[in-house]
Amino acid sequence: MEILTVEDVADKSNKSVKTIRRQIAEGSLKASKINNRYRITKEDFNYWYKQYKKGVNDKSIFDNVEFVNQESKKVNYVDISSLWYRDGWHNVNERNGYNFIDLFSGAGGLSCGLVMAGWTPIASVEIMEQAVATYKHNFIDKKGFIENVEVQDIRDKTVKNKLYKSVEGQNIDLIVGGFPCQGFSMAGNRIVTDKRNTLYLDMLEIVNYLKPKIVVMENVLGLRSMLGGKVEAKIINDFESIGYKINVAVLNAADYYTPQIRKRVIFIGNRINVTNYHPKPLLKAEEYKTTKEAIEDLMTRKKDLLFNHVPTVHSKEMQKKLSKVKEGESLYKNYSDSWKKCPWDKPSCTVKENHGAVNIHPKLPRVLTARELARLQSFPDDFVFSGSKKWQLTQIGNAVPCYLGKAIGLAVEMMLNDE
């Protein structure tokens, strides 16, 4: 069996090495990693090349995208400060009577925030087994919400049909979806045809079928600049084609009492002819909550498995290295977004999944625990994460900060009240 390297494939197809790596990363070209280098069989190369020559390319679904009108870029901020006291997570009497479906729920950061704002979840879809276990434990077992929660792939037609049947006869107020953002991320190759980048089309299909009054979508900041804005334009145009007027804005979680700088693109749309509201910031920069305020009390707390507070035991040599890292800098120069030391008297740097590489404690010679990271993501302390520590960190890093979800939930509620 003839085996090819990335360079061999680039040479045979007259493409750049970067293009070949992109094709491998998105799953179009099958490859195996041997001794940390990709290897491609001749058969897999031939199959891929035939498909590639047929016109499969990075811009295929965006070729005919027209740019959206400027009205969608207008941000209509609404003051939510009078409702911020509400805590539907701990007080059932503070529920607002509105329901929602979370299509890419993960562990439930956005869902938790919406429940804080008073919303009631009636369905969710998630593919990660450990995240589903976390969601079940917190929303079903502890809070008693009535949902059929199981590991499901949203691309599967049977999953969609099961979702439709589970909410049959109900008027849906809101569908939310933080569709997977890795493909849109500014890190890596930013692959336009990454299969994760078209999952919003599955959300589009579900929204078109269930016709909620309002739809909210969340994604990373890098989405806005992809293909000169065409990715954002296509998402807006597609949802407007099924009757949803869309407005989009960048929100910073730190503006809503989250002790972390975390900016996200938030699309809000409705089909009930009301103004789309984004939540007005609650804090000025000088008022932001700090890492110290969030986790200082945990510095002396002993190991607590049930609380997700299990400090990593580093070697003495690693402890010395971690102690020398300056706030805001990384242990490794080539990985500036991982092994990064959080500032103590400012909001934390962005919490990321980073394949298990986590933030460094500003005062102690160790990385942060899952509970400390959960605090920085504004999860309540009674929200417990399932799975091994690795999977806990993955769930927390991928989550929407709960307080950001709460702010959005309060703003959307005011839209429904306008109706």
Q: What is the pLDDT of residues 118-132, one digit of tens each?
A: 999 999 999 999 999
The verdict on 262 and 163 lying in the same domain is yes
Give me the pLDDT at residue 337, please: 72
The verdict on 295 and 264 lying in the same domain is no
Return the number of other C-beta atoms located less than 10 Å from residue 358's C-beta.
Answer: 25
The verdict on 272 and 387 lying in the same domain is no
63 occurs within a structural domain: no
The verdict on 177 and 242 lying in the same domain is yes
221 neighbors 185 (Cβ within 8 angstroms): no
209 occurs within a structural domain: yes
Question: Measuring CA to CA, which residue among 217, 216, 218, 224 is closest to residue 186?
Answer: 224
The verdict on 74 and 115 lying in the same domain is yes
276 occurs within a structural domain: yes
Tokens matching residue 328: 């805001």
Distance CA(406)–CA(119), nearest Å, equals 9
The verdict on 414 and 299 lying in the same domain is no
Supply the mean pLDDT for the chain: 89
The verdict on 138 and 254 lying in the same domain is yes
Quick: pLDDT tens for 160-171.
999 999 999 999
Quick: pLDDT tens for 171-207.
999 999 988 755 554 444 444 555 556 688 899 999 9
64 occurs within a structural domain: no
Section 253-264 average pLDDT: 97
The verdict on 334 and 354 lying in the same domain is yes
Section 372-395 average pLDDT: 96
Range of the domain at 33: 3-57
CATH code of the domain containing 45 = 1.10.1660.10
pTM here is: 0.85
Specify the DSSP class assigned to residue 239.
H
Quick: pLDDT tens for 138-157.
999 999 999 888 889 998 99
The verdict on 249 and 156 lying in the same domain is yes
264 occurs within a structural domain: yes
The verdict on 160 and 201 lying in the same domain is yes
Of 20, 35, 57, the last residue of a domain is: 57
CATH code of the domain containing 258 = 3.40.50.150
171 occurs within a structural domain: yes
62 occurs within a structural domain: no
The verdict on 129 and 218 lying in the same domain is yes
Quick: pLDDT tens for 326-349.
998 989 877 767 789 999 999 998
| Total number of domains constituting the chain | 3
373 neighbors 359 (Cβ within 8 angstroms): yes
How many residues in the chain?
A: 419
Task: Just list the catalytic residues.
Answer: 181
CATH code of the domain containing 379 = 3.90.120.10
Tell me how many helices (H) and strands (E) the chain has: 13, 11
Give me the pLDDT at residue 42, please: 86
Cα radius of gyration (the chain): 22
The verdict on 26 and 106 lying in the same domain is no
Which residues contact residue 290 at a Cβ distance below 8 angstroms, ignoring those fewer than 6 apart? 259, 343, 344, 345, 346, 347
Distance CA(116)–CA(404), nearest Å, equals 11
Question: Measuring CA to CA, which residue among 100, 132, 104 is closest to residue 115?
Answer: 100
Find the range with the poorest average confidence among 58-67, 113-122, 391-400: 58-67
